């Protein structure tokens, strides 16, 4: 079985590629023939991991950097729902035929026995139906399937328990399926219909999740809302975190960590370039406090400008940081709610203040607030006062530390890569 051929596939976005890298390296080390289909942007990383790369052929590479150059009409959509609808249709669904054409060519050259991809790599359904290859989808964000017990996913709402709240949830589920996301589902079914795949009236995300041979959810049940209708193909595997390269970035200010009683770690991810959204409000809120504030800009070109603007001795600003090295010292993590960073924060038992809405971050930050792992500010643009009050509250209220420690203990009970190997092995055996 160990000689089986596994193809990983992902769209050229960091948040879709990185969470799968740890698993890919693990399977390669177990003896599987692992290769990867994705854009040229990840060629260097794949080379470092010694995983053969199939770059795009017919498909064109659209990344976060050139997204609005390729799709200038996206700028017209100001609302969160408008952007979601546009991206789902134009970035994910309508690019599927080119991805599948590439995969057909690759399958002739490398007849893979299994496709592993994130849940929004929609060509996976065509691989199942046209190439008869089983598919393992990876949940790289909180579970996005609709439930009779919950509000519709994507709106960042938390569950209601009362009579009126449950009826409101039911109404919203109807509106999402039949009104708000109706166009997305119609485009999705039309595209699949061109390949002879039967249509499905459900929200297309539900179809993607439930059609996979196996759905491996990054995280654990303790970080998701309870429901009575879990997908039967779902398996929680613990936090799937990116592969850690041996040449971890050194932290040049380790001595400072010993001189402050509280350490605040701040990030707004690698995609968001506007430092005025989270970084600047946090620095303004806390620069005069006796805390060490460690900021990572994600490589923003404004890094040096920020350093010149904030010369306080308790402020450290770096383009990139090794979170595994810093988080053991951190007391609060101020973040835009990227799933990988939140999982890492839970792993290291660091309570959070979150401020993020787009790219499903509203679902992630809502769970942080619901399970009292920190405070969800429910905005993309927090004020310094909001940051200051929230950080103070997290530091002073022990419930946040208790809750995140409890969930971290649950994370540790999951042998993430061992579980993935076992479940993937079962799929391959069935084939």
Instruction: Tell me whether residue 157 is in a domain.
Output: yes
Residue 111 and residue 174 in one domain: yes
pLDDT band at 182 (very low <50, low <70, confident <90, very high): very high
With tokens 């200010």, the residue in question is: 253
Residue 407 and residue 320 in one domain: yes
| Residues 6 or more apart whose Cβ sits within 8 Å of residue 352 | 332, 333, 334, 335, 342, 345, 368, 373, 374, 375, 394, 404
In DSSP terms, which residues pair with 353 in a beta bridge?
Answer: 334, 375
Residue 170 and residue 309 in one domain: no
Provide the pLDDT for residue 248. Answer: 59
Contact 341/272 with Cβ under 8 angstroms? no
Residue 200 and residue 115 in one domain: yes
Residue 60 and residue 44 in one domain: yes
Residue 115 and residue 257 in one domain: no
pLDDT band at 211 (very low <50, low <70, confident <90, very high): very high
Task: Summarize pLDDT for 307-320 with one digit per residue, the tens.
Answer: 999 999 999 999 98
CA atoms of 336 and 359, how far apart (whole Å): 11
Distances (CA, A) of 267 to 80, 295, 319: 21, 6, 10
With tokens 């992630």, the residue in question is: 364
Contact 368/344 with Cβ under 8 angstroms? no
Q: Which residues of 253-279 are buried (b: 16+ CB within 10 A; e: fewer)?
A: eeebbeebebbbbbbbbbbbbebebbb
In CATH, what number is assigned to the domain containing residue 101?
A: 3.40.50.2000
CA atoms of 105 and 176, how far apart (whole Å): 37
CA atoms of 330 and 119, how far apart (whole Å): 32
Task: Summarize pLDDT for 222-277 with one digit per residue, the tens.
Answer: 999 999 999 999 999 999 999 987 555 677 788 888 889 999 999 988 777 789 99
Instruction: Tell me whether residue 313 is in a domain.
Output: yes
Give the distance between the most distant pair of CA atoms in the chain. Answer: 65
Range of the domain at 226: 5-238+414-430
Residue 226 and residue 81 in one domain: yes
Residue 231 and residue 337 in one domain: no
pLDDT band at 1 (very low <50, low <70, confident <90, very high): very low
Residue 29 and residue 131 in one domain: yes
Instruction: Tell me whether residue 71 is in a domain.
Output: yes
Task: Summarize pLDDT for 86-96 with one digit per residue, the tens.
Answer: 999 999 999 99
Instruction: Tell me whether residue 245 is in a domain.
Output: no
Q: What is the domain count for the chain?
A: 2
Find the Cα–Cα–Cα–Cα dihedral 339, 342, 348, 354, rounded to 10°: 170
What's the mean pLDDT in 48-52?
96
Task: Summarize pLDDT for 104-141 with one digit per residue, the tens.
Answer: 999 999 999 999 999 999 999 999 999 999 999 999 99
Looking at residue 310, the DSSP 8-state letter turns out to be -
Find the DSSP H helices in 312-415: 323-326, 339-347, 361-370, 384-396, 398-412
Provide the pLDDT for residue 183. Answer: 95
Instruction: Tell me whether residue 396 is in a domain.
Output: yes
Instruction: Tell me whether residue 243 is in a domain.
Output: no
Instruction: Tell me whether residue 246 is in a domain.
Output: no
Mean pLDDT of the chain: 93
CA atoms of 266 and 351, how far apart (whole Å): 12
Provide the pLDDT for residue 77. Answer: 82
What's the mean pLDDT in 351-368?
94
Instruction: Tell me whether residue 75 is in a domain.
Output: yes
What's the mean pLDDT in 346-370?
95
Residue 408 and residue 422 in one domain: no
pLDDT band at 152 (very low <50, low <70, confident <90, very high): very high
Distances (CA, A) of 315 to 248, 285, 339: 22, 12, 25
Provide the pLDDT for residue 3. Answer: 66
Residue 27 and residue 63 in one domain: yes
Residue 49 and residue 171 in one domain: yes
């Amino acid at each position: 079985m160990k000689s089986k051929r596994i193809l990983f596939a992902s769209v050229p976005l960091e948040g879709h590629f990185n969470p799968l890298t740890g698993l890919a390296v693990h399977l390669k080390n177990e003896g599987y023939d692992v290769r990867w289909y994705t854009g040229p942007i990840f060629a260097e990383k794949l080379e470092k991991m010694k995983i053969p790369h199939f770059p795009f052929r017919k498909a064109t590479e659209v990344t976060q950097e050139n997204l609005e150059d390729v799709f200038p009409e996206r700028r017209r959509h100001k609302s969160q729902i408008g952007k979601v609808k546009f991206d789902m249709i134009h970035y994910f669904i309508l690019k599927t035929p080119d991805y599948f054409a590439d995969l057909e060519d690759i399958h002739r050259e490398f007849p893979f026995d299994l496709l592993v991809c994130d849940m929004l790599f929609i060509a996976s359904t065509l691989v199942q139906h046209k190439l008869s290859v089983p598919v393992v989808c990876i949940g790289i964000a909180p579970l996005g399937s609709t439930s009779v017990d919950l509000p519709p996913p994507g709106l960042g709402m938390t569950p209601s328990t009362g009579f009126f709240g449950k009826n409101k949830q039911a109404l919203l589920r109807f509106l999402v399926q039949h009104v708000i996301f109706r166009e997305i589902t119609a485009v999705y079914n039309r595209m699949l219909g061109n390949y002879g795949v039967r249509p499905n009236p459900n929200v297309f995300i539900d179809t993607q999740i439930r059609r996979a041979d196996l759905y491996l959810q990054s995280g654990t049940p303790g970080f998701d809302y309870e429901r009575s209708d879990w997908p039967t193909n779902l398996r929680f595997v613990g936090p799937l975190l990116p592969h850690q390269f041996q040449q971890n970035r050194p932290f040049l200010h380790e001595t400072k960590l010993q001189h402050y009683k509280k350490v605040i770690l701040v990030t707004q991810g690698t995609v968001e370039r506007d430092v005025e959204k989270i970084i600047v409000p946090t620095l303004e809120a806390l620069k005069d406090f006796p805390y060490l504030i460690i900021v990572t800009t994600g490589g923003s070109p404004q890094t040096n400008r920020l350093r010149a603007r904030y010369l306080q001795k308790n402020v450290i600003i770096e383009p990139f940081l090794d979170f595994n090295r810093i988080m053991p010292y951190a007391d609060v993590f101020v973040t835009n709610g990227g799933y990988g960073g939140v999982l890492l924060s839970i792993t290291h038992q660091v309570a959070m203040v979150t401020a993020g809405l787009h790219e499903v971050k509203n679902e992630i930050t809502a769970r942080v607030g619901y399970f009292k792992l920190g405070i969800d500010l429910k905005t993309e643009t927090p004020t310094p006062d909001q940051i200051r009050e929230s950080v103070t509250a997290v530091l002073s209220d022990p419930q946040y530390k208790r809750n995140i420690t409890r969930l971290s203990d649950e994370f540790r009970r999951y042998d993430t890569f061992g579980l993935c190997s076992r479940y993937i092995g079962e799929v391959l055996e069935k084939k």
